[in-house]
């Protein structure tokens, strides 16, 4: 079967991803572009019995003038003929209401001489919006073929697939030639590089990146001969180009599109009036956040308990069924609890992404950006920082990348630096288990659960700290650059269940297979370190303890004796010696050496904490017990009493709230800021601050 490459391009918020989902269904995969962390979505669809289409959903962009890494991807692919994904045909996706703006991008792509189809989405809404369109005339003016589609009603896709399959019949002629803004300059370009597309040369000259085999400096050196353009002249030409394109587009649409203005308003205006109200708007946002966290806490608890118990009994079953030996022990005590420690977070992560994607899809997130800009500006942030900060509650890594659309570098840098304070989902398991251990499971006013409230409070602390440190940075850092802020207010939409579902599945999968592998590897390593010791004390643990019991004449039950032996072993294992080594550092915070080990291993990824404790505590344990039960039985080695009490619990919660414990985030920050300076700053500042705060909290509460 033959396969062709199809690129989907379009403005952000035009339902491009819905179109992609409709075309490919679940037959898609999400990866990264090589070397950079921009998400790459690709999928395959069958066009006919002999033809398949490999479809790439390119990042949303308003034009081919790249101002961010994501937008660069689009240009790089469209300019580089040697790229294995170089499209045979481009589909520009526009929704009916933003047609004008999407046509800007469309005319630019047409200028590159690529076969281009225009897919107009949400065509089912034309009547309701009072819009009518003269398709044949529009096709003629734009020199293209148009497919009217609706991803909501799932109509028009056969026509679109048909157009894609017959892409060879499409005109590759430009419909609005950029050369007209400066015929002399473009004419000279054409003369110097006769076998290149002139518009392509122009894009390479005006962008900061090199594309494929076209080298910018090489072009520059050759163009020097006729007329070098200064940076500001180039920018003025770019502006002229946009104006020329819009003139063409406005003329075209005047002839082909009629709009009954009275039918157009309505829902948008009334929802805006409520959601962007200077009092109600903020209240509604607060209530939405509160609801989300209550739901995550309440709903996810049931599947989580189930998972916890199933893994405990599965581990028990393995131990009794497989032949006895060290490897069986590794499976039962290291690998199965390790996998359990990953699976248990799936419900919460899925719920969190469910809500975040609903907020984004519905168009509500942009209203929050609007509402918060004025406040955020005072702290050196932008309204757009709200999206990274909110998605930081899922994971700091995509959040740091989401900050790319903040126009101002200082605002963007501050956003990146403070994101790790927001409570990411990796902290959630640590919080959940500690809250369950030290905060009473009672209700306040009969509605709000104390445990839920503490969790919400932790989210506020994280967010508050993020904003506070942003303000500090804002005061310290100086910049002369003027701040800009442009944000589109998309139409309200009922989120498509399919889109939401795909996002939830994607993100959960990337957690399980990304962080999950690390957690599993660390669980295995920890188990081995806890099951072997450097000297004879470990090997002869049973004899040593038995003699000790005899000489001291202790009267112990078999169970007590077993516990004594296994804790003796643990103390003299590799990990026991490592833990003892760091105990002086963590003791002032109320932790024993086991928690110390868990805290250290958390620097690979925070969610390792629970898995680590699960592994350490289950080594040598014979009974089937959940992690929680084991933890609550632990005794403080110095002061006696429960190890996990209010003081040490709060101290741990605060430590995890503030400390920078994620290598992956540090790596992403390094990549996004292009220097080690900022990630090292984060590591030192955040962790130091966390230590001091936890120390104070424990010493006050104990």
Partner 1 sequence: MSIADLKSGQKATITDISSESIPLKLLEMGCLPGNAVEVIKIAKIKDPLYLNINDTFLAIRLETAKDILVKLIDQ
Partner 2 sequence: MSIQEILVWLTFIAAIGFLVKKFFFKKKTKKACGQDDCGC
Q: Which residues are annotated as a binding site for GTP?
A: 10-17, 35-39, 57-60, 121-124
648 binds partner 2 (CB under 8 A): no
SS3 45: strand
Report how far residue 634's alpha carbon sits from residue 642's, in angstroms, rounded to the nearest whole number: 6
Which residues define the annotated binding site?
10-17, 21-22, 24-25, 35-39, 57-60, 121-124
665 binds partner 2 (CB under 8 A): no
Looking at 634-676, list the stretches that DSSP marks H as alpha helix, in order from N- to C-terminal side: 646-658, 663-673
Binding track over 218-257 against partner 1, x by CB under 8 A: --------------x--x--xx--xx--x-----------
Q: How far is CA 80 from the centre of its chain?
A: 28
Can you say whether residue 3 is alpha, beta or left, with left for phi > 0 and alpha for psi between -120 and 50 degrees?
A: beta
Report how far residue 193's alpha carbon sits from residue 189's, in angstroms, rounded to the nearest whole number: 6
Site for partner 1 in 250-279 (CB under 8 A): 268-269, 272-273, 276-278
Site for partner 2 in 449-508 (CB under 8 A): 481
Q: For residues 66 and 589, which CB has a smaller minimum distance to partner 1 in the complex?
A: 66
Least distance (Å) between residue 407 CB and partner 1? 6
Site for partner 1 in 102-131 (CB under 8 A): 104
Indicate the burial class of 297 (C-beta count within 10 angstroms; 0-12, 13-18, 19 or more). buried
607 binds partner 2 (CB under 8 A): no
From the list 452, 422, 453, the residue with the least C-alpha distance to 657 is: 422
Q: What would the two tokens of residue 690 be?
A: 């966390």
205 binds partner 1 (CB under 8 A): no
Report how far residue 101's alpha carbon sits from residue 96's, in angstroms, rounded to the nearest whole number: 10
Q: Which secondary structure element, helix H or strand E, spans residue 214, and what is its range?
A: none
555 binds, among partner 2, partner 1, none (CB under 5 to 8 A by kind): none
Q: Which stretch binds partner 2 (CB under 8 A): 174-182, 406-414, 422-430, 694-702?
A: 406-414
Q: For residues 279 and 324, which CB has a smaller minimum distance to partner 1 in the complex?
A: 279
| Among the listed residues 78, 131, 163, 413, the single contact to partner 2 using CB under 8 A | 413
Which residues define the annotated binding site for Mg(2+)?
21-22, 24-25
524 binds partner 2 (CB under 8 A): yes
Q: For residues 229 and 630, which CB has a smaller minimum distance to partner 1 in the complex?
A: 229
Q: For residues 336 and 604, which CB has a smaller minimum distance to partner 2 in the complex?
A: 604
486 binds, among partner 1, partner 2, none (CB under 5 to 8 A by kind): partner 1
CA dihedral 289, 291, 297, 302 (to 10 degrees): -140
> Sign of the CA dihedral 378, 383, 387, 388?
negative
Q: What would the two tokens of residue 154 be?
A: 């799932």
C-beta separation of 338 from 516 below 8 A: no
618 binds, among partner 2, partner 1, none (CB under 5 to 8 A by kind): none
Report how far residue 642's alpha carbon sits from residue 590's, in angstroms, rounded to the nearest whole number: 11
| Among the listed residues 462, 490, 579, 590, the single contact to partner 1 using CB under 8 A | 490
Q: What would the two tokens of residue 620 be?
A: 């040598």
Q: Which stretch binds partner 1 (CB under 8 A): 74-82, 480-488, 520-528, 594-602?
A: 480-488
Residue 303 has a CB neighbour count (10 Å cut-off) of 16
Q: Which stretch binds partner 2 (CB under 8 A): 1-9, 61-69, 138-146, 283-291?
A: 61-69
520 binds partner 2 (CB under 8 A): yes
The DSSP bridge pattern shows strands 39-46 and 51-57 to be: antiparallel
Least distance (Å) between residue 142 CB and partner 1? 18
374 binds partner 1 (CB under 8 A): yes
Where does 242-393 show beta strands of DSSP type E?
Answer: 257-259
Report how far residue 513's alpha carbon sits from residue 72's, in angstroms, rounded to the nearest whole number: 28
307 binds partner 1 (CB under 8 A): no
Size of the site for partner 2 (CB under 8 A): 40
440 binds partner 2 (CB under 8 A): no
413 binds, among partner 2, partner 1, none (CB under 5 to 8 A by kind): partner 2
Q: For residues 242 and 505, which CB has a smaller minimum distance to partner 1 in the complex?
A: 242
667 binds, among partner 2, partner 1, none (CB under 5 to 8 A by kind): partner 2
Cα 540 to Cα 326, 415, 457, 562, distances in angstroms: 17, 55, 48, 14
Report how far residue 221's alpha carbon sits from residue 215's, in angstroms, rounded to the nearest whole number: 10
**Residues near 624 by beta carbon (within 8 Å), at least 6 away in sequence:** 312, 313, 315, 316
Q: Which secondary structure element, helix H or strand E, spans residue 263, and what is its range?
A: helix 261-264
485 binds, among partner 2, partner 1, none (CB under 5 to 8 A by kind): partner 1
Q: What would the two tokens of residue 468 be?
A: 């506070």
Q: How many residues does the chain have?
A: 702
CA dihedral 503, 506, 507, 512 (to 10 degrees): 160
**Residues near 188 by beta carbon (within 8 Å), at least 6 away in sequence:** 223, 226, 227
Size of the site for partner 1 (CB under 8 A): 42
Report how far residue 79's alpha carbon sits from residue 201's, in angstroms, rounded to the nearest whole number: 9
CA atoms within 13 A on the CB side of 102: 24
Least distance (Å) between residue 496 CB and partner 1? 21
Least distance (Å) between residue 120 CB and partner 1? 15
Q: Which secondary structure element, helix H or strand E, spans residue 5, and what is its range?
A: strand 2-9
| Among the listed residues 564, 671, 689, 702, the single contact to partner 2 using CB under 8 A | 671
76 binds, among partner 1, partner 2, none (CB under 5 to 8 A by kind): partner 2
69 binds, among partner 1, partner 2, none (CB under 5 to 8 A by kind): partner 2
C-beta separation of 434 from 649 below 8 A: yes
SS3 116: strand
Least distance (Å) between residue 387 CB and partner 1? 14
Binding track over 83-102 against partner 1, x by CB under 8 A: --------------xx-xx-
Site for partner 2 in 191-250 (CB under 8 A): 207-209
User: Residues interacting with partner 1, by CB under 8 A?
Assistant: 62-63, 65, 67, 97-98, 100-101, 104, 232, 235, 238-239, 242-243, 246, 268-269, 272-273, 276-278, 281, 369-371, 373-374, 377, 383, 407, 482-491
User: Residues interacting with partner 2, by CB under 8 A?
Assistant: 34-36, 65-69, 71-72, 76, 207-209, 323, 325-328, 330, 407, 409, 412-413, 481, 517-518, 520-522, 524-525, 528, 604, 663, 667, 671, 673-675
């Amino acid at each position: 079967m033959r396969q062709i490459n199809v690129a989907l391009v379009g403005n952000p918020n035009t339902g491009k991803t819905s179109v992609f989902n409709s075309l490919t269904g679940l037959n898609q995969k999400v990866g990264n572009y090589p070397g950079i962390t921009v998400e790459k979505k690709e999928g395959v669809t069958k066009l006919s019995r002999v033809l398949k289409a490999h479809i790439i959903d390119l990042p949303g962009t308003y034009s081919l003038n790249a101002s961010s890494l994501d937008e660069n991807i689009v240009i790089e692919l469209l300019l580089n003929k040697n790229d294995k994904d170089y499209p045979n045909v481009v589909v520009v996706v526009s929704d009916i209401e933003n047609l004008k703006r999407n046509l800007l991008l469309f005319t630019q792509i047409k200028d590159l001489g690529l076969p281009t189809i225009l897919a107009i989405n949400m065509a089912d809404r034309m009547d309701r919006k009072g819009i009518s369109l003269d398709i044949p005339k529009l096709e003629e003016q734009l020199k293209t073929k148009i497919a009217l589609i609706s991803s909501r009603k799932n109509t028009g896709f056969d026509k679109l697939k048909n157009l894609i399959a017959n892409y060879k019949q499409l005109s590759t002629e430009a419909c609005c030639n950029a050369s007209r803004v400066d015929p002399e300059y473009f004419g000279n370009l054409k003369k110097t590089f006769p076998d290149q597309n002139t518009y392509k040369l122009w894009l390479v000259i005006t962008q900061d990146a090199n594309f494929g085999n076209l080298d910018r400096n090489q072009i520059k050196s050759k163009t020097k001969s006729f007329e070098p353009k200064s940076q500001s002249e180039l920018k003025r030409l770019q502006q002229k180009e946009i104006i020329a394109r819009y003139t063409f587009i406005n003329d075209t649409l005047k002839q082909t599109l009629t709009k009954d203005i009275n039918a157009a308003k309505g829902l948008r205006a009334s929802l805006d009036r409520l959601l962007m109200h200077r009092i109600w708007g903020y209240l509604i946002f607060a209530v939405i956040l509160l609801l989300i966290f209550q739901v995550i806490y309440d709903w996810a608890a049931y599947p989580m308990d189930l998972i916890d118990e199933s893994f405990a009994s599965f581990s028990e079953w393995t131990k009794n069924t497989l032949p006895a030996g060290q490897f069986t022990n590794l499976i039962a005590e290291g690998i199965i609890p390790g996998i359990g420690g990953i699976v248990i977070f799936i419900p919460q992560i899925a719920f969190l992404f469910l809500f975040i994607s609903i907020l984004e899809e519905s168009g509500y997130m942009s209203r929050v950006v609007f509402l918060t800009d004025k406040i955020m500006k005072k702290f050196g942030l932008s309204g757009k920082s709200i999206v990274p900060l909110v998605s930081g509650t899922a994971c700091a890594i995509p959040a740091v990348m989401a900050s790319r659309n903040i126009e101002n570098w200082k605002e963007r840098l501050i956003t990146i630096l403070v994101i790790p304070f927001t409570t990411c989902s990796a902290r959630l398991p640590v919080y959940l288990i500690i809250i369950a251990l030290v905060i009473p499971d009672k209700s306040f006013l009969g509605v709000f659960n104390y445990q839920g409230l503490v969790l919400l409070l932790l989210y506020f602390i994280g967010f508050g700290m993020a904003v506070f440190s942003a303000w500090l940075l804002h005061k310290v850092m100086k910049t002369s650059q003027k701040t800009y802020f442009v944000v589109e207010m998309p139409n309200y939409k009922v989120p498509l269940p399919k889109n939401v579902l795909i996002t939830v599945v994607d993100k959960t999968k990337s957690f399980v297979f990304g962080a999950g592998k690390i957690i599993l590897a660390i669980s295995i390593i920890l188990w081995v370190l806890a099951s072997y010791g450097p000297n004879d004390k470990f090997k002869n643990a049973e004899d040593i303890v038995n003699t000790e019991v005899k000489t001291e004449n202790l009267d112990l039950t078999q169970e007590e004796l077993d516990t004594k032996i296994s804790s003796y072993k643990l103390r003299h294992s590799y990990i026991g010696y490592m833990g003892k080594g760091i105990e002086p550092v963590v003791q002032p915070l109320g932790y024993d050496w086991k928690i110390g080990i868990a805290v250290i291993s958390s620097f690979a990824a925070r969610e390792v904490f629970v898995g680590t404790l699960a592994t350490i505590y289950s080594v040598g344990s014979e009974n089937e017990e959940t992690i929680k039960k084991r933890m609550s039985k632990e005794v403080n080695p110095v002061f006696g009493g429960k190890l996990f009490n209010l003081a040490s619990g709060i101290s741990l919660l605060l430590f995890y709230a503030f400390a920078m414990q994620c290598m992956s985030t540090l790596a992403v920050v390094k990549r996004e800021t292009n220097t080690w300076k900022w990630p090292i700053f984060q590591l030192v500042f955040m962790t130091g601050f966390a230590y001091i705060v936890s120390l104070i909290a424990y010493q006050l509460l104990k």
